[in-house]
Chain A
Amino acid sequence: MQIEFVSPEDILYSGQATQVIARTRGGGDIAFLTGHEPFIGSLLTCEARVFEDGGDVKRFAVRGGFVSVTGSTVTVLSDAAVPAADIDVVAARSDLADAEAALEANPEDAYAKADRDWAEVRLVTAGERDTAGSH
């Protein structure tokens, strides 16, 4: 099946895959195989895995958005989707520190929370951390 990652600025990835795993809001991890029923779901900021036709597994850090499955196409629309190899770990660490400092000042800051989740997911996807914190 065809899999596409689309960001507001560009199509980030497009390829053929046998399976895609992502995490939806309220539904936990969900895997899409060829022939999945038509589906639209809100995505959490999470790590997505694409099992390519050649047998490779590509890992992406995905910043929210939604996934739609129609026919034999899976489309992930999100603010950002970064392949594991392209993640800037240093930037992610400093973003995490900034977000945590902002949360220290105001624990209700929704934007800082989103920034923190995004930084954590990038670190996890890059293999710098085992799992996201217990938030």
Chain B
Amino acid sequence: MPGGAERILRRRIGSVSNTKKITRAMELIAATRVARAQQRARAARPYSEQLTGVIENLAAGGADVDHPLLREVENVERVAFIVCAGDRGLAGPYNAQILRSAEREIQAVRSDGGDYRILAIGKKVVDYFTFRGYNIDSRFAGFTDNPTYEDARDVARRVRELFDSGEVDQVDLLYTEFVSLGTQRPVVRRFLPLESTAVMAGEGGGDQAALAGFSFEPSAEGVLEDLLPRYVEARLFTALLDAAASEHANRQRAMKAATDNAEELIVKLSRAMNRARQEAITTEIMEIVSGAESLNTTDEETNIETLMTGAGDRA
């Protein structure tokens, strides 16, 4: 049947261009969301910088507190993992990367005879670990695109319940760090216990003299104790914002690749379609020519007339 192959190819080209329209739209949406996520991360910086600065300076100034968030355990046996990925797929390797490294960390704890807790942030994390038969301690979903401080506080609350009660000895945070628009990398960070105040003072570049001459209400130690829980929340919030920006950047890249592939496919299919059409035309001409030959008349003009009016009418 001439033209059959052409029709099928035409339909496929139609469906590929529809897909391309969708991936292109998703690419553009992701691009604007990356920009917004970066903007939010920038807006959040003054708070966390001020907070961290004051804590480091207080620590350097000699304020020493015995806060539950600083409680170090010699033999770490029970570890909680805050795993932060996305609610949705179609973001290239974004979810898979972080989930794979989370599973690796959990296996490492298990093979040492330790116990684990999973705090899953993002629907994909819940699905992944549920499917593989892991116990999930708590589930947080629905905000990974655009996290608010309130969301960070909800997660921090559960983390502190686990840590303050001694149910876990250590908390690790796994998320995708946003290095630049082109580079995001999955990282594993120790979240709790916080580094001792001495380490904070040294590594953070706290300035012993920075707060000299300050007066404190209620006291330097009291202020530090109030600030530590906020520091935990702020760190978590920063990670959530980073992860959101990374997710959008990954989605943008994945959708750009899909759009490019669709374009390539359309070109290939168009070529195949043109070839099929040309073949059909050639076949038809060949049939006409050989039909004319087979009539075997001597009068060529009559022959052509016959062909044009249709062979069936000729009696």
Binding site for B on A (CB under 8 A): 6-11, 24-27, 30, 37-42, 65-66, 68, 75, 77, 79, 111
Contacts and interface: CB of A to CB of B under 8 A. Distances in A.
Contacts of B51: 77
Contacts of A25: 217-218, 222, 226
A111 B213 CA distance: 35
A40 B44 CA distance: 21
Interface in B204-220: 211, 213-218
Contacts of A37: 213-215
A36 to B, nearest CB: 10
Contacts of A26: 217-218, 222
Contacts of B67: none
Interface stretch (B87-95, B195-203, B227-235): B227-235
A40 B149 contact: no
A77 B46 CA distance: 9
A72 to B, nearest CB: 15
Given A25-B226, A66-B223, A75-B50, A10 B217 contact: no
Interface string B23-59: 0000000000000000010011011101100100000
Given A25-B217, A26-B218, A40 B47 contact: no
Contacts of B223: 40-42, 66
Given A41-B223, A79-B149, A8 B233 contact: yes
Contacts of B213: 37-38
B212 to A, nearest CB: 9
Contacts of B50: 6, 68, 75, 77
Contacts of B157: 111
B234 A8 contact: yes
B138 interface: no
B237 interface: yes
A8 B214 contact: no
A40 B221 CA distance: 11
A10 B54 contact: no
Nearest to A7: B47
Contacts of A40: 54, 211, 214-217, 223
Contacts of B306: none
A38 B217 contact: no
Contacts of B211: 38, 40
Contacts of B43: 9-11
B19 interface: no
A69 B226 CA distance: 17
B164 to A, nearest CB: 11
B222 A7 contact: no
B148 interface: yes
Contact of A9 (B40, B214, B215, B230): B40
